[in-house]
Structure 1
Amino acid sequence: MDRSSSNPFSLEETPTSGSEAPLHFLEKALGGLRCFQAFVTAYEGGILEACREPASLADICGKTGAHVGIAGPLCEGLVRTGFLSRDGSGNYQVTVVTRDFFLTDSRFSQKAAIAQMKEFASLFYCLPDILQKGPVVYPRGEQFRERVIPAMAEQSRCGLVQRVAGIVSSLPEFQSARRLLDLGGGHGLYAIALTRKNPDLSAVVFDLPEVTPATREMIRQYGAQERITTQEGDFFHDSLGTGYDILFSSSNPSGKMPALIPKISDALNPGGLYLNKQVIDSPEEDPFADLEWNLWALEGMKKTEKRFRFEGSVRLEEYNRMLGESGFMVRNIVPVDGRSVMTIAQKTGVRGAGRDAS
């Protein structure tokens, strides 16, 4: 007999766990989903564009075709989250943050970054299928060219490139440097910013053949063709060249792979600097972020189960120790932002040079 219909639970009985809100976790997650989907809909559906100048709800619906009963709460949510403001007459207008990042002509547009976030979100909707069939596999060059690098370029222009260029240009060796290699440099913005800090510095951006056409276009847009060139290659398999005073690497797999240290050393002149910006290995790991990392894969590149780690990579602390055993002196580890640090290492040619205790 069905107990749920003929013998209901005693109203004096409570859950063994003691929890009175078993769906709290899902309610909190759903709140994030609401905000994400509401913002993306407003961004793509023209709501933000309709509010460049003060606009009534009727104006917004007239411009976008939105249903007034849906658009009203949506706009109020955008006010609450800081993307719109509302004046005393009830008119909505975009905020400074929205003008900076989320209009079609915003100087710091985040269009590619939002598209990448949408794609990651869509993978979770496919989780039941991926759970059975395995990760979605992307062509490596296409994924970097079309998604990863444009998104990284947009995000880095918002202050990260400027901060990194300030750190690097303050190093005593920087003004005397003549050749820089931006390893896996993708968008080329770091090379562009650094050559502007040193008029005698030339740079080479090394990246995959599928990526470098976009790199050259970025270099052209900034008018830096005379001092910055590209080199096509795969740093897992190809030579990096030689004769560089600085080798810069930002958030790419080479910066945590001990097997590539000899190539990096060979590319540098004696006394040359290896500047390696990497995401911090956080002890507070998020298993759902690791899950996202494992929902997709790149052709020809094996990832580990932990986020931002590829096969052959090690934790940054271990990598820096191995630098010291391979002819580098780790001079400093500089915080860049809340998520990353830059290791400043100098090629000494003396194995076991270790780390500068000063």
Structure 2
Amino acid sequence: METTTWTPAELLKLSGSYWQTCTLHAGVKLDLFTKLTEQSRSAAELAAALAIPERGLAMLLDALAALELLRKEGENYAATAFAAAFLDRNAPGYLGHIILHHHHLVESWSRLDEAVRSGSPVRRRASHDAGEAEREAFLMGMFNLANLLAPKVAAQVDLAGRRHLLDLGGGPGTYAIHFCRRNPQLRATIVDLPTTRPFAEETVARFGLSERIDFVAGDFNDDAIPGAFDVAWLSHVLHSEGPQPCAQLLAKAVAALEPGGLLLVQEFILDATRTSPLFPALFSLNMLIGTPDGQSYSEPELAAMLREAGLQAVERIPLELPNGAGVMVGRKP
């Protein structure tokens, strides 16, 4: 059912919305919000501190004030309360990592037509092939996003009595952390690429859980999964792969589960028509741009994958999550 009433004005607003996006990205890249949380400054003072020309900086500061992320009082600029909470690098709620990850995607998204014509990715995979700064933005950006949702998910996924969780492709371990915080009897193992280890171990240590959460380096597509687990968590892993690698990965995860073990999959989930919700449909294009075979999957497709992997009692857990995210669960006989 159509819910959008398109007009020429709305169409052109959508077409030019990247202006606002790029303005935000520039403010984060230059770390303006941190500096303007510390103290208010004029454009001239900030330009001198950054050793950059005042002209362009003043224009950027005015645009950020127009976006209501900065306040302008006389000649001085200061971060708003919202910007101080989420865009100051020193704030616990800092979202700059995921914003920088979005920034690294912009160039490849401008080449979406090339990806559609070729059917092949037009950018490097941040998890595998990127440089250190881009990898940090990706991994800690995943922490930014997951840290907003993981406490809610952990509170509504029943792991009572479960002892050992496999966080497969867990990145910095955000969900392992929150599942362990919620379930004192639980320990966890994060399995991810060797380049992820320092980010995971630092994040786990920050939450004081190094004694309960360990890290195993490996490529889950090629390497065996060590250990035995009574619950496995795959968060936003399957969308990076095509159907056949997904089937192989799920079979490998199920094999690592003890009888009666749970397997939980979190993804951006399309409905059966594959035309809604909007975010998973757009995210599928993000996978086209960045992976050989990745895509968003529909709820019926994910349910079929879990059953074909040998799981029973497959269902979607009733959770209200943003951007069409959802959690599917199945039990090993």
* TM-score, with length taken from structure 1: 0.72
2:214 and 2:23 map into 1 onto residues whose CA distance is: 42
Q: Choose from 93, 118, 125 the match for 1:108.
A: 93
Shift of 1:265: 2.2
User: What is the percentage of aligned positions where both structures have the same residue?
Assistant: 23
Q: Is the 8 A contact 1:113 1:150 kept in 2?
A: yes
Q: Which residue of 1 aligns with 2:128?
A: 141
Change (3 A) 1:129 1:230: same
Q: How many residues align?
A: 310
1:327 and 1:294 map into 2 onto residues whose CA distance is: 29
Q: Which residue of 2 aligns with 1:337?
A: 321
Q: Which residue of 1 aligns with 2:250?
A: 261
Shift of 1:181: 0.7
Change (3 A) 1:317 1:229: same
Q: Which residue of 1 aligns with 2:199?
A: 214
Aligned-residue CA RMSD (Å):
3.5
Shift of 1:59: 5.1
Change (3 A) 1:128 1:71: same
Q: Which residue of 2 aligns with 1:296?
A: 290
1:229 and 1:28 map into 2 onto residues whose CA distance is: 45
Indicate the SS of the match to 1:78: helix
1:129 and 1:247 map into 2 onto residues whose CA distance is: 37
1:274 and 1:128 map into 2 onto residues whose CA distance is: 37
Report whether the alignment pairs 1:320 with 2:296. Answer: no
Shift of 1:235: 2.3
Q: Which residue of 2 aligns with 1:84?
A: 70
The aligned amino acid for 1:185 is G
1:197 and 1:69 map into 2 onto residues whose CA distance is: 51
Change (3 A) 1:160 1:62: same
Bigger-Rg structure (1/2): 1
* TM-score, with length taken from structure 2: 0.77
Shift of 1:42: 3.0
Range moving further from structure 2, 221-230 or 316-325: 316-325
Q: Which residue of 2 aligns with 1:155?
A: 145
Shift of 1:150: 2.1
Shift of 1:112: 2.4
Superposed CA deviations along residues 143-183 of structure 1, whole A, max 9, x for unmatched, are 494443221112222x2121122122xx2xx2311111111
The within-5 A match list for 1:57-206 is: 60=46, 63=49, 74-86=60-72, 91-124=76-109, 135-138=121-124, 141-143=128-130, 145-157=135-147, 159-168=148-157, 171=158, 174-206=159-191
Superposed CA deviations along residues 189-216 of structure 1, whole A, max 9, x for unmatched, are 1111211222221111111233234322
Q: Which residue of 1 aligns with 2:3?
A: none
Q: Which residue of 2 aligns with 1:7?
A: none
1:49 and 1:246 map into 2 onto residues whose CA distance is: 40
Shift of 1:267: 1.7
Change (3 A) 1:266 1:77: same
